[in-house]
Structure 1
């Protein structure tokens, strides 16, 4: 990737808000844990269904750019839908996940895509993941369907396995690259600090 990497590692890290989205039990939490702790993560079958919202921070270097990924893990159950989508605002990237062994989770992708564009706008970057590709014998969603859906929306597509850590790193790298290429939507640590300090000074000035 050309451009911003030459500005040096002395800069504060760039902050990227990434949100996981998709139906319940498609493996969003497993994907997050596989990416943020690939050596210590247990098998996906031991994870509990997400209740509410959680997030993890992943520091990475990308073309000599220090990046801090805030990865928000949202619940997929209908009763948490309003809460989950409220966290879509302000996100620069989305990881939209379905389960290749669950047709309903794939059919729900269009609705989640609509929620993303309504809450976060049309300029956000999205990747589509067909998770649990380690369960090939239980597959009900052909890979071609995932590829076609991603092509229709103009977004990258990967089949992944959180259990076996397949394509997880590649998927997040592609998403990070696409976000960084839109420099205008990226904040630095000092931008946040400066904003907070400005608010304090404004209050004190009066």
Structure 2
């Protein structure tokens, strides 16, 4: 594959990780973006994000993945954290049923602060701890179907399905954005090339149609710089 610079991408998507503290959000992030895992269990303080680019069809998609703490005292960052997100992984710990019970609240908060077209993946993490399982696959699948979300079990420790979960979310976002760009392609009222095209109905997420067939999704990050 030909070399591509870090900032050479066709789409940039903001994805958020949400869920209770201690479910493994930070390890999912580090496993996907750096292929690292830490056995030290420490809570994320404030917000951090990491990036990674993948190829979807013939396009390079750069994911900017935000991770924050699940503790109540950090909930004040909610609006800035969710702003501009086009995808989300809602994470619970398969060995702690209460973290699964709280998914409903996390989904409500997510949907209150994001566009209706956001792509959501329900993630049951720590699936390697089979002898401690407290949430069945059947229960989680049923919940995901009722809430119209994708579902996957992962193990950040064993690197099981981590790549698949993030890739599926990014691919589905790409499909949504591509369809929207296609839908307005022949619209005489569409803005000329180089102008902003609104993707999701919120000003924070927009696709920019450049010369030729190249598109980029620009994300406004008010709480943190977008470079990275």
Other-structure match for 2:19 = 22
**Can you list the C-alpha shifts for 1:139-160, whole angstroms capped at 9, x where unaligned?**
1111111111101111111010
Other-structure match for 1:74 = 68
Distance 2:209 2:155 in 1: 32
Aligned-residue offset at 1:180: 0.6
Counterpart check, 1:63 vs 2:57? yes
Other-structure match for 1:122 = 116
Aligned-residue offset at 1:74: 1.4
Aligned length in residues: 181
Alpha-carbon spacing, 1:125–1:63, altered in 2? closer, same or farther (3 Å): same
Aligned-residue offset at 1:48: 2.1
Other-structure match for 1:157 = 151
Instruction: State TM-score, norm by structure 2.
Output: 0.74
Distance 1:36 1:101 in 2: 25
Aligned-residue offset at 1:53: 0.2
Alpha-carbon spacing, 1:105–1:189, altered in 2? closer, same or farther (3 Å): farther
1:163-174 alignment runs, 5 A limit: 163-174=157-168
Counterpart check, 1:51 vs 2:45? yes
Distance 1:89 1:113 in 2: 15
Aligned-residue offset at 1:192: 7.7
Other-structure match for 1:8 = none
Other-structure match for 1:187 = 207
Q: Supply the RMSD in Å over aligned alpha carbons.
A: 2.1
Aligned-residue offset at 1:121: 2.7
Gaps of 5+ in 2: 1-7, 181-198, 200-205, 211-215, 221-228
Alpha-carbon spacing, 1:98–1:64, altered in 2? closer, same or farther (3 Å): same
Question: Match for 1:93 among 87, 93, 97?
Answer: 87
Other-structure match for 2:192 = none
2:16–2:88 CA contact under 8 A, matched in 1? yes
Other-structure match for 2:34 = 37
2:24–2:156 CA contact under 8 A, matched in 1? yes
Aligned-residue offset at 1:173: 1.4
Distance 1:121 1:192 in 2: 15
Other-structure match for 1:202 = none
Question: Match for 2:99 among 105, 108, 116?
Answer: 105
Comparing 26-35 with 82-91, greater Cα deviation is found at 82-91
Distance 2:78 2:158 in 1: 27
